[in-house]
Structure 1
Amino acid sequence: MLVLVVDSSTPAVTAAVVEVSADGVAVRASRCTVDARAHGELLAPQVDAVLADVDARPADLAAIVAGLGPGPFTGLRVGLVTAATMGQVLGIPTYGVCSLDGIGHPAAAGEPVLAASDARRREVYWAVYDGAGERVAGPDVAAPAVVAERARDLAVTVAVGDGAHRYADVLGLPVREEPRYPDPLALARLAAERIRAGAPGDPLTPLYLRRPDAVAATGHKPVLP
């Protein structure tokens, strides 16, 4: 089965076509461009490109997997709206996976690992995974110093993700070079059981974790003195 994977929860805009079979999951084509200001401009062309790379049409897809975040509002919405719209138009299921799982799960190799992505405002989105790649804490958002304390409590020995790179001095952990952003193969593997079983699709609820910067006005200022 051909499955489209999209993620726009970080500055990396990712689209991939993977093949899910009884024997495993394999990437057939993948595109990733790091640009925090161009999610809307980049994702649709990348979806077209990966489909063209495997000589496939949207109608050939059996399912869509989307990273649910956590991530900034505007960028994250691009991926989820794209996935939900394509799923509805094509009549195929959509499956959501926590985007941090796409960083922390493949990085776990017998030791606890912290996955952290940049949340701006001097904070990180974070989660902790045990040696088998199972999430044991998070996802959440906090200042790097707070995350460092939680990581010590959970005996974390290594960190991954662009947030870990940015705040390595505060986290006080060795940082692996990769994965820096959600891995489409990992996202697909985490949804593979549902895909093979033909499970009902997910509503793709975004993991924002905090309120938006823009809020509606609560009142009106008088015009006259």
Structure 2
Amino acid sequence: MKKLVVLTGAGISAESGIKTFRESDGLWEGHNVMDVATPEGWRKNRELVLDFYNQRRKQLHTVQPNIGHQILAELEHYFEVHIITQNVDNLHEQAGSTNVLHLHGELFKVRSVKDKNYILDWKTDLISGDLDPNGFQLRPHIVWFGEDVPALEEALVLTQQADYFAVIGTSLQVYPAAGLVEYTPPNIPIYYIDPNPGTMQNVRNKVEIISLKASEGVPILKDRLLNLM
């Protein structure tokens, strides 16, 4: 099977009702992102950060994948599909995608503040006093601003192996994720689905821009890809 690699961003989840801070003047659900999505914010007010992600986790229990997520899952019948997502929700998995790499972490997981490899599934509230076996606090398994992106190396390898590459629902403003497209093999088809697409720099390949939201553009992507088979 040919390998389809897809980079997804907040736009595809927004259609399921999940808000992104970039839509509201730097605020994420009413909070300054520096207060809830940085190591400094965590050190300053742990209770605020824990409550913020508890609320995001509860919200995730109330939303469903949309047609964009569903069609990407269906494409596994025809291609070896790998989703590289900037989103921390699990909507790709809910839709049935089996190869999902989360660049920025996952809401339904927590990890030790001391041991980054101690990771647990977690679907309820996380509170101060929830500890790892060595007595260290558990924190949201989220890559905050200023932190390394552990999954980036794997994402680069996948991108370099792609036969087809698609970018869906992202403005390509958040690095290092935005730079992945620069590592695609020469001459492979690239598709960019977003109602307000950003600029792709240093990309050698021809890019087909589909200026639509994910629910409208992903069905077109499916047709394009199936016509290449």
TM-score range, shorter chain: under 0.3
TM-score, L = length of structure 1: 0.25
TM-score, L = length of structure 2: 0.25
Q: Which structure dedicates a bigger proportion of its chain to strand?
A: 1
